[in-house]
Structures are given as structure tokens and as C-alpha cells.
């Protein structure tokens, strides 16, 4: 088997883009394609994500044919455990990728790239020319809070309160003050184990359902944040544990979307105000704000647009395997 990939990262969070060599995929929709890969090609996902060609925190994406009429490109997300329905650090890299590799013709000062993800279409705006090629913004899918104030009994921790919010995937949100953690790199390894335990315990008592598509109804990860920052600051640090104990190096795009929805539901974000989320490993930041209210099933979610001021770095490698 001969597979070529393009290696990118957003704020230190890697993205392995599979370009050629993947078998033909059946399915009319992107979600049907995921189901086909899971049943027929999952060994390739493991091959590219796991050691020795990958590592525990590897993240990847596969380009497929779009099934939405306005999409310029469509991508499936893969990781150490399986398949994701949204990844916004990947959207940032893929916006650049689509422009850099002429999938969409570059226009100054900003190029619109419509990227189809399993959860929907993401209008992505890539700044181009005049030294602004590292700037990118996009509008997420409808984001909403599924559950507020859920009491969860976590082994070795006890009863805690979590919130479940959606930003393309569902996250359980929990504050550091009930976990005995700080939102700092020094507590990252503890956060991985505790975040996984919170997610596992939450899955046992909460039925996570998306109001419009059952394939989107699953808990993807845990977001650990500082309650005092949430209430008093415009800059919030957060640690994101997802899949099988993966830790996001970036501020997390889908987590930003879900967090904006949660902050808005708590009455802590009004009008055109915005919040900025920062990685615990570097000074990279994602900024989110409410754009407009909308409906998603019986929920009244918010759309939010994130303006991400950063650089994505790329190297390209060819991998030959047998």
C-alpha cells in the first residue's frame, strides 16, 4: 500500500491529511462513508494513527466527495479511537490547505472555502496576500447546551456537576475547583485521566442525542476550565480531553463553539461580546462570539463565528508502506 499525506498543525495540534492511496469508499452521504470506512477500512485508520507511523495523540482527516451542493471540499476526521464529526483546529488547517493547493482559487484579501464536515457545512474565510495569510475565520454549525447542572458520580473524585454542550460534537464541561486541578500544563497528565473518567461516568447516566441526526449523538470529550476566569475574564484557558485520552494542544475549535453556547446560556455573554480561549501549552488563542440565534430541533442554539489569528505550519512527506 502506498499512501501520501500532507502534515500540518494548528497551534501545535497536528493534522495528517490523507491525500492518495486510500481505497474507494461507498456511501451517498459523508456519514454513510464514515460507516463504510468503519466497517471495511478501519485497519487503515489504525495504521496511520497508531504507533509506529503515528502516536497516541495523532489526528487525521480524509478528503471525500462532498454531498452538499455548495461544498468546495469534504473531509472525514479520524483519531486514535475512531471517527469525529467535527474538528475546528482541522478546519483552520484545511482552509489553508484548500487555498495553498488550489482546491479553491485564492482571492485577495479573503477567500471563501465551504468545507463540509460530518456535522454540516462550515463557511471558512482564509485571508490571503498582504502578509495576512495566517488569519482565518469561520462560522460554526448551530451550537447549543444539551444539559445543565448534571450531577455525576466520578470514581475516586465523587459527585460533581457537569454541563453538556454541543459545538459540532458534544462535550462535558467541568470546573477545575471541583477536580482539584489547575488549568496549567503541569496538570496536563492528571487532566487526561480525570477528563476520561468524567466522560466515562457521564456516558453512563446521560443519553446524548442530537435533535436532527442520531449519528451526531455521542459524547466526544471533556473540557476542564477555571470558573473564576469564566466569570471575570475575557481570556479563558481550557484543557480538552477527547477520544481515548487524547489531549488537544490547541485551544480547541469545537470546544470554543460549545463553550460559547454554554457561556451564552448562563447569561455571561451578551450582544456582540466575545470570549478568547487559550491553549495551556502556548499563547495560541481562538476567539468566539455569538453571530445569531437559530433553531436546531427543539433547541434554540446560537451560531458563533470564530476569528482565529494564528499561523498554521506545514511539511509534506510521502509514506510508503507494505
Q: CB-side exposure of 239: number of CA atoms within 13 Å?
A: 29
User: Distance between CA 208 and CA 218 in Å, rounded?
Assistant: 6
User: Distance between CA 166 and CA 144 in Å, rounded?
Assistant: 5
User: Distance between CA 322 and CA 307 in Å, rounded?
Assistant: 42
- Residues comprising the chain, all counted: 322
Q: 87 catalytic, yes or no?
A: yes
Q: Is the Cβ–Cβ distance between 295 and 255 less than 8 Å?
A: no
Candidate list 6, 11, 87, 98, residue with the active-site label? 87
Q: Is the Cβ–Cβ distance between 128 and 107 less than 8 Å?
A: yes
Q: What's phi and psi for 177, nearest 5 deg?
A: -70, -20
Output the CA torsion sign for 76, 78, 82, 86.
negative
User: Distance between CA 5 and CA 101 in Å, rounded?
Assistant: 13
- By three-state DSSP, how is residue 300 classified? coil
DSSP for 168-216? SSEEEEEEGGGTT--SSGGGHHHHHHHHHHHHHHHHHH-----SS-GGG
Active site residues: 87
Amino acid at each position: 500500500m502506498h499512501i501520501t499525506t500532507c502534515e500540518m498543525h494548528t497551534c501545535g495540534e497536528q493534522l495528517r491529511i490523507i491525500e492518495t492511496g486510500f481505497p474507494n469508499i461507498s456511501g451517498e452521504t459523508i456519514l454513510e462513508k464514515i460507516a463504510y470506512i468503519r466497517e471495511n477500512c478501519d485497519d487503515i485508520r489504525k495504521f496511520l494513527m497508531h504507533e509506529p507511523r503515528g502516536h497516541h495523540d495523532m489526528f487525521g482527516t480524509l478528503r471525500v466527495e462532498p454531498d452538499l451542493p455548495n461544498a468546495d471540499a469534504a473531509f472525514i476526521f479520524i483519531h486514535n479511537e475512531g471517527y469525529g464529526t467535527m474538528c475546528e483546529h482541522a478546519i483552520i488547517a484545511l482552509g489553508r490547505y484548500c487555498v495553498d493547493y488550489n482546491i479553491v482559487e485564492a482571492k485577495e484579501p479573503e477567500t471563501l472555502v465551504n468545507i463540509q464536515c460530518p456535522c454540516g457545512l462550515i463557511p471558512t474565510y482564509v485571508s490571503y496576500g498582504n502578509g495576512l495569510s495566517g488569519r482565518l475565520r469561520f462560522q460554526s454549525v448551530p451550537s447549543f447546551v444539551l444539559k445543565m447542572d448534571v450531577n455525576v458520580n466520578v470514581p475516586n473524585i465523587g459527585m460533581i456537576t457537569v454541563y453538556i454542550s454541543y459545538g459540532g460534537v458534544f462535550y462535558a464541561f467541568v470546573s477545575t475547583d471541583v477536580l482539584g486541578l489547575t488549568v496549567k500544563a503541569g496538570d496536563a497528565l492528571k487532566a487526561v485521566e480525570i477528563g476520561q473518567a468524567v466522560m466515562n461516568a457521564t456516558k453512563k447516566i446521560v443519553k446524548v442525542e442530537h435533535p436532527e441526526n442520531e449519528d451526531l449523538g455521542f459524547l466526544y470529550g471533556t473540557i476542564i476550565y477555571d470558573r473564576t476566569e469564566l466569570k471575570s475574564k475575557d481570556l479563558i484557558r481550557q484543557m480538552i480531553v477527547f477520544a481515548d485520552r487524547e489531549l488537544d494542544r490547541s485551544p480547541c475549535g469545537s470546544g470554543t463553539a460549545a463553550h460559547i453556547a454554554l457561556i451564552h446560556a448562563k447569561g455571561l455573554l451578551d450582544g456582540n461580546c466575545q470570549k478568547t480561549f487559550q491553549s495551556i501549552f502556548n499563547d495560541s488563542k481562538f476567539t468566539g462570539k455569538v453571530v445569531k440565534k437559530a433553531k436546531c430541533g427543539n433547541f434554540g442554539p446560537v451560531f458563533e463565528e470564530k476569528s482565529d489569528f494564528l499561523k498554521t505550519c506545514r511539511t509534506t512527506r510521502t509514506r510508503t508502506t507494505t
